[in-house]
Amino acid sequence: MDLKEIISKMTLEEKAGLCSGSDFWHTKAIERLSIPAVMVSDGPHGLRKQAQGGDHLGVNESIEAVCFPTACATACSFDRDLMQNMGEILGKECQAEDIAVLLGPAVNIKRSPLCGRNFEYISEDPYLAGELSAAYIKGVQSQNIGTSIKHFAANNQEHERMSCSSEVDERTFREIYLPAFEKVVKTADPWTVMCSYNRINGIFASENHRLLTEILRDEWGFEGFVMSDWGAVSDRVAGVQAGLELEMPGSLGTNDADIVNAVKTGELPEEILNTAVERMLRIIFRYIENKRDEVFDRKADHEKAVEIAKQCIVLLKNEDQILPLKEGMDGVVLIGGFAAKPRFQGGGSSHINSKQVPCAIETMKKYGVTQYSEGFSATDDVLDQKKFEAAVQMAQNAKVAVVFAGLPDAFESESYDREHMRLPDVQNQLIEEILKVQKQVIVVLHNGSPVELPFADRVKGIVEAYLCGEGVAEAVADILYGKANPCGKLAESFPLRLEDNPSYLNFQGKDGKVVYSEGIFVGYRYYDTKKMDVCYPFGYGLSYTQFELSDLKLSQKSMKESETVKVSVTIKNIGNMAGKEVVQLYVQDLTKAAIRPLKELKGFEAVSLDAGEQKT
């Protein structure tokens, strides 16, 4: 198709109009030139397709869809194949629902545990975020559905996200906040990139020429189009000049008219507008020419969501091998509101309308567990003395108490940040009281980001389920009883307390600016270099089996800057249960040419092994 010929037939008004949405979710159609409208939809862990009443915060109802584990959970798989497989499933769902672009993944770095949207982000580590995001995008786009990697860039808090300026030095920008985007653009060719709301060193991302053109296109070779986050446009003409092709949603013609006037007055060269239109048309027709019939099998995809969840759950503690529990054993009781109402996703634009969401009370019955006491609500931090005392009593009479704890929806969501890193007070209080009468306590966590765990040294087991999608209760039950072997590794550090986090003094900022004064020392890069104790470190996670590493080899003993070194190691499952281990490769700079972290992740592989099996 000759796109330049089509553009030559377009009026100036049509060109300007194509660069903004017709409504909340669609691009504009130009019927006389056979240019169709296409639909975009929120993701990244399911489809939030809204047929009517569009909004970007999950207020109005969307179609029934399957909620897969959120990024905070899937990141713990450290598994590229898993991410690509999930992307393929979502791409097929998009084909079935006539969606051209799925808005995700979100790869912003987890600078602070308090960011309200951390559940949707992958990691504190840029290498891990880039590798897993690239795999996910390859999966989605293998189905000829576009993705929109977001939020470009340095969008690491919800507080004043529409206006706050991220003040970040060049080295930190290049080493921490840009590499995940760079990796994806260079290796996975995303169809679109979504710019963020915030300013970067004083300039809005939506009109930042250095970001959207010099870095994204000239340096990295991006060939798709850039769209705004919803309502992120400040100066539309400056945005087009900077490299922002699509404004979402549309402005009811106001900004289109500004573009037309800017071309007529010579402020905006029409060649720049033509380039923007060509980039839009290339993606629109790429989708249209590859549109096919597909079936959205919600039941089958639910089962796939369960299997993915099992590979994301992290076993943080297993003292005295309390886990796995023995099937049919008496005296196991469930406590906590999350056992009846699992929190499986976050709030805001990624909220999925799931209908098939069993709870732990239901899924644990197949293992003979029938006793349950609420103890505390899953929706608030209010003490109900009668329920509190009943839960303590049930725990006292039990052999094992499994407490389902976590963060209520109101504690973390898009649009605002958390105020602290604690679980609700009532949950901590109940766990403390239970520990006075019962030593065999297992805590299952439902949360989108790290929490302080004052009881970690006294409970026997801790299972981090994160927000593991609509199948989380099924996955947790199978993990607790050993039908599945936990294999997740933390993709973020769990500090002992909020004050230990390197961004603590500057998070959220002041007077419209947030200074990234910790520089490159984000997450484990800071804790390791400072030799600080943490509750649980990045990359940590237990298994029901044991693995042994041996025969570490380098392809060469020295290297030049332009060369690469291949590292190999033999891993063996020396336990008696099949499992999956994540081999992690870290590097350390011994040159001391610059101040650097003690170690940095530069390679990983998720390896599945039967008992006694080994691989290199």
Task: Give the residue numbers marked as catalytic.
Answer: 229
Which value, to the nearest 10 degrees, does the dihedral of the CA atoms of residues 201, 203, 207, 211 take? -10
CA 359/CA 342 separation, integer angstroms: 6
At a CB cut-off of 8 Å and minimum separation 6, what does 252 contact?
Answer: none
The DSSP result for 50-74, as a single string, is: -SSS--SSS-S---B---PPPHHHH
Residue 271: count of CB within 10 angstroms of its CB: 9
Q: Could you count the other beta carbons within 10 Å of the beta carbon of residue 565?
A: 11
Nearest to 546 by CA among 609, 601, 475: 609
Helix (H) or strand (E) holding 255: helix 254-265
R_g over Cα of the chain: 25
Q: Inter-axis angle of helices 425-437 and 385-396, to 10 degrees?
A: 30
Burial class (CB in 10 A: 0-12, 13-18, 19+), 433: middle
CA-nearest of 267, 268, 233 to 251 is 233
SS3 337: helix
Beta strands 192-195 and 225-228 are parallel
| DSSP-derived 3-state class of residue 294 | coil
Task: Identify the CA nearest to 234 among candidates 260, 202, 280, 275.
Answer: 202
d(CA 481, CA 399) in angstroms, rounded, equals: 15
Listed in sequence order, the residues at least 6 apart from 115 whose beta carbon sits closer than 8 Å to its beta carbon are 121, 156, 157, 158, 417, 418, 449
Cβ contact 205:152 at 8 Å:
yes
SS3 state at 560? coil
The answer to whether 353 touches 577, Cβ cutoff 8 Å, is no
Six token digits for residue 173 = 């920008």
| Helix, strand, or coil (residue 304) | helix
* Separation between Cα atoms, residue 509 and residue 512, nearest integer Å: 7
Q: SS3 for 531?
A: coil
Q: In what order do the strands lie in the sheet with 225-228?
A: 40-42, 101-103, 146-152, 192-195, 225-228
Distance, in Å, from the CA atom of 59 to the CA atom of 465, rounded to the nearest integer, reads 26
Q: Say how far apart CA 462 and CA 403 lie, in whole Å.
A: 10
Helix pair 179-188, 126-141: axis angle to 10 deg: 30
Tokens 């839009």 appear where?
Answer: 280
